[in-house]
Amino acid sequence: MRSCDSVKMVNQLLAGVHIASAAEAMAFGARLNLRTRRIFEIIQHARGYSWMFGNRVPHMLDNDYTPLSAVDIFVKDLGIVSRESSNLRIPLHVSSVAHQLFVSGSASGWGRYDDSAVVKVYETLTGVKVEGRPPMLNKEDVLRSLPVEWPEVPMDDLVSSASHDSKKVLVVLDDDPTGTQTVHDIEVLTEWPVEALTEQFLKLPTCFFILTNSRSMTADKAALLVKDICRNLEAAAKTVPGISYTVVLRGDSTLRGHFPEEADAVVSVLGDMDAWIICPFFLQGGRYTVDDIHYVADSERLIPAGETEFAKDAAFGYTSSNLKQWVEEKTKGRILENQVSSISISLLRKEGPDAVCQLLCSLEKGSVCIVNAASERDMNVFAAGMIQAELQGKRFLCRTAASFVSARIGIKPKPPIRPNDLGLKRNLAGGLIVVGSYVPKTTKQVDELRSQCAQSLRVIEVSVEMISLKSTERDQEISRIVELGNAYIQSGRDTLVVTSRQLITGKTPEESLEINYKVSSALVEIVQRIDSRPRYILAKGGITSSDLATKALEARRAKVMGQALAGVPLWQLGPESRHPGVPYIVFPGNVGDNSALAEVVQNWACPSRSSTKELLLNAEKSGYAVGAFNVYNLEGIEAVIAAAEAEESPAILQVHPSSLKQGGVPLVACCIAAAERASVPITVHYDHGADKHDLLGALEMGFDSVMVDGSHLTLEENILYTKNISSLAHAKGMLVEAELGRLSGTEDGLTVEEYEARFTDIAQAEQFIDETGIDALAVCIGNVHGKYPPSGPNLRLDLLKELRALTMKKGVSLVLHGASGLPHELVKECIDLGARKFNVNTEVRNSYLQSLKKPEKDLVQVMESAKEAMKAVVAEKMRLFGSAGKA
């Protein structure tokens, strides 16, 4: 036999024996009820360590037997060793036993598994599990397996007892702004002098938040900050008779943050508590705690928290998903797993608040208790039991996620907030979206945002390398971003400022925090120097959102209005901030599916301009009329927009076929662009479409509505013509107006003699509406195009009243052409009788022509003078029609 083969046999003997010994040792440890992953960590630094132990045991702990080597290989190799030992008459007791273990594994069907699967022989024989991590579970299966929920808890009464009878206030120290994810109408302080805290206590609120942003600090700095806040709380509470409070350390729902350092800091100032409560359940973020194991929901799976990307955080990483073990891990063994109590879901759902109170009251002073929960009802039951215990004099320090806070104060959820809910007016500035979070979920959400909003979004990527590692290039990079940001926001584009996605970490947690600090400081400076007022601000990531609120926007206090999306808080910053009144959306790094960020941005995008139908429906609801003003050039367009914005009135820009013939598509494009940029509802209407070819062209130009003018045709021809165009326009979402009856007078070169005019007939009008499907009817009741005769207008108001009754029944808006020259009282009577759209042309056009007679120095002054003259007429009509102030 060659020497190399002999050496290989010796090596395989050792390898096989070491693998089998490692499996045996881990099985023994599991039988001793030791934590197998902890055993592995200790043995790595002990004398019993071997290379095979370090290489194969992780496979056993992960229950991952993807073959790198296989059980059957050692059946073969140790079999060769056994036969050779027989030939040489040398006993090999240990390797023979190891060989039989591998044979047993192969016989059990694991021959093609990785050789570390030999541990399964011990697991099968003894019933122990060496696997060092909880398995992933099917979410629906787990939730279905739980007991039925406890009946609804009367939280309002309990919270009232806690907050008013005993003046108990919940004070939430939030290590980043995302902790307000489940509350609304609650105040947030970003500073905590005694005077500010006293002011809050005097209000006797059920709760208020103090934003500490301590997760961005080192543990030592975070502890000092928490001590400072607690000292100020104690001083403030002493000035308000009878006040008491419970401190909640609101932390990340995926277990990141300064624990136990912050809890120790609280105790050092406020004294020992009866118990520390650990409760990371957070429904909106998909965080469940079942059988003491904290899970992160990923679609249909429940993944143990210790197996997620959050557990690999450079500054706050951990390995334990079992919360009892997590406490031992984070306290470095000061508090052992078996010293931690827990409240089970079974207790919450079968025994209710009284049992929770009894358990909490029975804990030894200074205990740690974790809370299992899989629903908001579970949280309510726990909170109710905790309140009962507090009313009996117990003091608790809570380390929780956001759901506990809303349960503890009995707050009821409300739907996500949209811009209209805040009464915000149309704003043409772009929104500012700042992303600093690096968790993989955020990166996926950013990718989806860029994909879904590619046409409307402007993206500025911040080089993290330049702003954190290359000090000489830092200022240049920040200046570049600020210049682009200002330009994009001013142009009305939503602007995404996002850090480059390659995560840069330090060699130690402290170095990683320092890099995070530099990145956050750069983002703060960028937002400070962007002086354009954005339509809204969205900050992605806890540290990012905190620093932007307190440093870049200089907010000292804020009010939580609600959520922009489930788990995504929406703040109203105080009047002292740089942009008071601008909505501030705090988007956590670990909330929502991949499309959640895109959904919020789309919800808060600049609202599309209103339709003509919406304008007329709003006029109907509030009893006013909308002015439709014929425009011929840019000055006319600007005059109508300027008057509408000054009067806060909706308006319609009308383009007549004769003006379209002169101005063409550019005129229509100017109207549409002006309407889109207006801060009030403006639509664009094609007026008097008497020619089918022209009308078909108008349907493709972007008008919001068209007027089909078949008034020169017989009734049957008019119906056929209007019905044809109406079906095409409705397919494009356009409102259709048509005229029945015929007005006399001259408009844009078209003259209808008085003998050709005819009043609208009621019976014909009903037939016309039914057969054409129009949305608005222009009627003739004695109104004329152009100037009225010297004797003045003679309108048939009785006919208008009858037509109003008909159009109301049919759901059609009533329109009057020829509003120029009508006396004010007559116009108001017509509005009272249901006219909802007035066409205005002659008076506006005449004001333009009159302005040209004034001597001006240059063309710019001529344009300005004409614009102001038309604006005055338009504004006066808006006040007359009652539309002023209705935007």
pLDDT in tens, 676-723: 888 899 999 999 999 999 999 999 998 999 999 998 899 999 999 999
CB-count exposure of residue 11 (10 Å: 0-12, 13-18, 19+) = exposed
- Decide: helix, strand or coil at residue 639: helix
Instruction: Render pLDDT for 834-868 as a digit per residue (tens, 0 to 9).
Output: 999 999 998 999 999 998 888 766 888 888 999 99
Predicted TM-score (pTM) of this structure: 0.67
Beta pairing partners, 122: none
Share of the chain above pLDDT 90, in %: 70
Share of the chain above pLDDT 70, in %: 94
In the predicted model, is pLDDT for residue 335 greater than 80? Answer: yes
Question: In 106-218, which ranges are continuous DSSP H helix?
Answer: 119-126, 139-145, 155-160, 194-202
Q: Average pLDDT, whole number, for the chain?
A: 90
Please tell me the predicted confidence (pLDDT) of residue 315. Answer: 86
Q: What is the CA radius of gyration of the chain?
A: 38
What is the mean pLDDT of the segment spanning 547-553? 92
Using an 8 Å Cβ cutoff, are 186 and 180 in contact?
Answer: yes
- Decide: helix, strand or coil at residue 531: coil
Using an 8 Å Cβ cutoff, are 57 and 116 in contact?
Answer: yes
Looking at this protein, which amino acid is placed at residue 134? P
**CB-CB neighbours of 474 under 10 Å:** 18
- Which of 174, 687, 704, 775 is catalytic? The answer is 687
User: Is 687 a residue of the active site?
Assistant: yes
Using pLDDT thresholds of 50, 70 and 90, give the confidence band for residue 756.
Answer: very low
In the predicted model, is pLDDT for residue 372 greater than 90? Answer: yes
Instruction: Render pLDDT for 567-619 as a digit per residue (tens, 0 to 9).
Output: 899 999 889 999 998 999 999 887 888 999 999 999 988 766 789 999 999 99
Q: Which CATH superfamily is domain 3-132 in?
A: N-(1-d-carboxylethyl)-l-norvaline Dehydrogenase; domain 2 (1.10.1040.10)
Using pLDDT thresholds of 50, 70 and 90, give the confidence band for residue 516.
Answer: confident
Span of 145-159, 236-250, 319-333, 396-410 with lowest mean pLDDT: 145-159
Please tell me the predicted confidence (pLDDT) of residue 438. Answer: 74
In the predicted model, is pLDDT for residue 110 greater than 90? Answer: yes
Using an 8 Å Cβ cutoff, are 77 and 5 in contact?
Answer: no
Give the Å distances, CA to CA, from 115 to 26, 65, 120, 122, 324.
Answer: 15, 8, 10, 14, 32
Name the CATH architecture for the domain at 428-603.
3-Layer(aba) Sandwich (3.40)
Please tell me the predicted confidence (pLDDT) of residue 786. Answer: 59
Comparing C-alpha atoms, which of 251, 172, 181, 246 is closest to residue 209? 172
- Report the alpha-carbon angle 574-242-193, nearest 5: 35
In the predicted model, is pLDDT for residue 413 greater than 90? Answer: no
In the predicted model, is pLDDT for residue 743 greater than 70? Answer: no
What is the mean pLDDT of the segment spanning 272-276? 96
Using pLDDT thresholds of 50, 70 and 90, give the confidence band for residue 751.
Answer: very low
What is the mean pLDDT of the segment spanning 733-759? 64
Please tell me the predicted confidence (pLDDT) of residue 330. Answer: 95
CATH topology of 153-408 equal to that of 612-881? no
What does the DSSP 8-state code read for residue 148? Answer: P
Q: Which CATH superfamily is domain 153-408 in?
A: Putative sugar-binding, N-terminal domain (3.40.50.10840)
Q: Which two tokens stand for residue 19?
A: 């693998």
Please tell me the predicted confidence (pLDDT) of residue 197. Answer: 96
Output b/e per residue, 687-705; b: 16+ Cβ within 10 A.
bbbbeeeebeebbebbbbb
Determine how β-strand 583-587 pairs with β-strand 626-630.
unpaired
Using pLDDT thresholds of 50, 70 and 90, give the confidence band for residue 492.
Answer: confident
C-alpha–C-alpha distance, residues 270 and 468, integer Å: 39
In the predicted model, is pLDDT for residue 291 greater than 90? Answer: yes
Question: In 608-707, which ranges are continuous DSSP H helix?
Answer: 612-622, 634-647, 657-677, 692-698
Comparing C-alpha atoms, which of 806, 754, 746 is closest to residue 779? 806
Indicate the class that CATH gives domain 612-881. alpha beta
Instruction: Render pLDDT for 765-813 as a digit per residue (tens, 0 to 9).
Output: 999 999 999 999 999 988 876 566 676 677 899 999 999 999 999 999 9
Q: Where are the domains of the chain?
A: 3-132, 153-408, 428-603, 612-881
Would the CA dihedral through 755, 762, 796, 629 be positive or negative? negative
